[in-house]
Structure 1
Amino acid sequence: MKSPDLVIIDDLVGGRWTLQPGESTTIGRAARIPVGADDRYMHRVLLEIWYANGTWMVANRGNRVPVQIESRQAGALAHMRLGPGASSPLPAHRSALVFQTPETTYELHVTLTRAVDVPLAQPVHTAPMTAGQFSPNAEQAALLRALAAPLVRRAGAGNDDIPTVKQLQDTLDWSQKKVNTKIDYLCRKLAENGFAEFSHSGPGPALSRRIQLARFAAEHRRYWDRM
Structure 2
Amino acid sequence: MSTLTIDFAGELTRLEPGETFTIGRDGDLRLDDNPYLHRSFLVITFHDGLWWVHNSGSRLAAGLTDEAGLMRSTLSPGASLPVVFGRTSLTFAAGTTSYEVLLECAQESYRPVGGAAHDDGETTIAPTTFTESQLLVVLALAEPVLRRVGSGSSSVPSAVEAARRLGWAQTRFTRKLDNVCAKLSRAGVSGLHGGGAGSAANRRVRLVEYAVSSLLVTAADLPLLDATRTTAPGGVS
TM-score, length basis structure 1: 0.48
Highest CA radius of gyration, 1 or 2? 2
**With CA pairs under 8 Å and 6+ residues apart, which has the higher RCO, 1 or 2?**
1
